[in-house]
Amino acid sequence: MELVMTGTGSPLPSPDRAGPSQLVQVGGRSFLIDCGRGCLMRLAGAATGPAAIERLLLTHLHSDHVTDVNDLITTRWITGFPAVPLPVVGPVGTVSFIDDTLTMLGPDIGWRITHHDDLEAPPEVPVTETAGGLVFEDAEIRILAAPTDHRPVHPTIGYRIEAEGASVVLGGDTVPCPALDELCVGADVYVQTVIRDDLISQVPVARLNDVIDYHSTVVDAAQTAARAGVGTLVLNHCVPTPMPGTEADWIAIAAEHFDGEVLLPDDLDRIPVEPAG
C-alpha cells in the first residue's frame, strides 16, 4: 500500500501546494480522500486518471476539501468510454452536496449530451453517507470511518484504510477526540491536518485566529500519534504554509511529543504504508 500526497496545501492558495487531497493505492486500485483545489492536476502528476478512482472519500464539506469534486465528476464522465459511476462516501450532508453539484453542472451536462451522440445520460454519482463504522470491505481492503470534531463544521469523519497487513489513517480537520484516538490505534501511518498556533496567534487578524480552536496543533497531532502508538506521523494541510527551509522546525515540535517518524511532505511525495517491523 502506498500513500500519494495529491494535495498538501491549506485554504490559502499556494504555487507549490494543491488543496487537501490524498491518494491511497493498493496494487492497481486507487482511493481518493478529499478533492481540494488542483486535485486533478496532481492526479495527472501521479499518473492516475479520474477513471482510476475506485471511491472518493470525503472527510467533510468545507470548501477547501471539495473544490475539485465537480471537476472529478465531469472529467471522469467525459473521458469514460463508457463512463462509469463515481461512488462517493462522506458524512451526512454529502447527498445534498452532490445533488447541488450536479445541479450546478446541469447546463454543461446538457450541452455535452446534445453535442456527443455517445453521451446518453448524465454522470452517475452514487453516495453513501456514514456517521462511522465499516464503509467498505472486500478480500483485499477494509475501510473504516469514525466521527471527528471540527465544530462548528459538523459532521466530520476520518478514515482508516487497511490492506496488505498495514493501515493508514486520514484524520482530516479535527481537534483531538476519543474517536480519532480509537481510529489511529496501531496505525502504520497517520496523516493529520495541523496548525502552528504559536505563529497564527502573532497575527492580529481575528478571522485567522479563529482557525486555532477547531484544528489540531502540531503538538496535538504528535500527542495523538503517541497515545495511539502509530508508526509514522504525516503533518499535512499546514497552516500557515511552511516557508521553504522551515519544515524541520515543524518536525522538531512534533518530535518533542512523539518518538516515531515524522514527515512533512510536498505534493506528489509517495509514502509507503507497510506493517511495522
Would you please indicate which residues are annotated as catalytic (active-site) residues? 64
DSSP 124: P
Grid coordinates of 75: 472529467
At 27, phi and psi to the nearest 5? Answer: 60, -125
Give the β-pairing of 141-150 and 133-137.
Answer: antiparallel
Number of neighbouring beta carbons within 10 Å of residue 94 = 23
Is residue 266 within 8 A of residue 5, CB to CB? The reply is yes
At 175, phi and psi to the nearest 5? Answer: -90, 165
Residue 69 to residue 7: CA distance in whole angstroms: 14
Question: Collapsing DSSP states into helix, strand and coil, what is residue 157?
Answer: strand
Q: Which residues have a Cβ under 8 Å from the Cβ of 190 and sit 6 or more positions away?
A: 168, 169, 171, 184, 221, 224, 225, 228, 230, 232, 233, 234
Is residue 247 within 8 A of residue 196, CB to CB? The reply is no
Cα–Cα nearest to 141, from 22, 82, 54: 54
Grid coordinates of 216: 489540531
At 153, phi and psi to the nearest 5? Answer: -70, 120
